[in-house]
Each structure stands twice: as structure tokens, then as C-alpha cells.
Amino acid sequence: MDGMRGMDALLLGRRTYDIFAAYWLNQADGVDGTIATRFNSIPKYVASRGNPDLGWAGSTQLGPDLATAVRAVRDKHEKVHVIGSLNLVQTLLHERLFDQLNLWIFLIVLGVGKKVFDGGEVPANLTLLEPPATSATGAVLLRYGLAAGTPSVGDMSRPGRGVEE
């Protein structure tokens, strides 16, 4: 729950929204009640090209110009969280519409699936904001912040870089 402290809005893709709405709406009295209370009480913004059922209280569909709509959400809220929603995350990365990137690494091998960095990302400098945190089950949380500038690569053939002349 620490990671959710101060969260004042959720930004979700349509598939993740459907999953969350079906689950969190009914968990207020369950084991995950604290999280459910938070999710149920804050605005939820949904990125979708279709017409999703927005029955979860506080839900709003974003307009067709996603970049402009996300900028408006960021102007309105201080701590917007995106959970899951990989297609949306890829758009946010491409448009550089993020301040912090939290990568949870769970050590399982599926062999197939979606990739976070699947090409098309705009190169960005990231800086590690704090030391990695590891859960008791071995999941690792890496928190990166968007840094200024554009990354560049070195030239190992320059004198003094280990390439014999």
C-alpha cells in the first residue's frame, strides 16, 4: 500500500479497467479492502477506442487525442498511477508522458507475451531514484525517473577505449 500513498487518480487501458472494475468494486470488505477503498474513491481515466461500460464510480473515458487527454489528467492530478495497461504504457513512453517508471520484475519465464519495450519507444534518459527493493518472494521493484536530455551511446573505437590501434 505504500506505493499507493498519495495516489489521486488511475489511468488505465480498457482491458485492465474491465478487470479492475469487476474485481475491486466488490473487495471493500475483503483482504484487499484498503486497496479497494482507495481505488473505489479516486477518479479512473480509461483509454479506449471503443465504447467501454464505465459503471465503476468516478470513471471517465479519455478523448481520441490520447496525448492531449493525458496531459490534461496530469495537470488536474498530482499522482496519477498506471497499472498494467501495456498498450497505454507504450504510448506514454513514446510520448514521454511520465515522470516515474516503476518496473516490477517477477522472475517467471512464460516464453511468450507482450513486451514493455517493443520498439517504437523514443530514447529517454532514466535515472534510478532509489535502491532496488526486493520482496520476500523475489520480485524486484525498480523506480526510475525521467531525466533530461536524450541518451547517447559511446564509441569504443576512440583512443583509450580498449581497442588496440
Q: Tens digit of pLDDT for each residue in 53-81?
A: 999 999 999 989 999 999 999 999 999 99
Beta bridge partners, 12, equal 46
Q: What CA–CA distance (Å, rounded) separates 100 from 78?
A: 12
Check: pTM over 0.75? Answer yes or no: yes
Q: Which domains are seen in the chain, by residue range?
A: 2-147 (3.40.430.10)
Residue type, 82: V
Cell of 74: 496530469
Grid cell 532496488 — which residue?
132
- Tens of pLDDT, residues 27-56: 888 788 888 999 999 999 999 999 999 999
Q: What is the DSSP string of 3-70?
A: GGTT--EEEEEHHHHHHHHHHHTT-TTSTTHHHHHHHHHS-EEEE-SS-----STTEEE--S-HHHHH
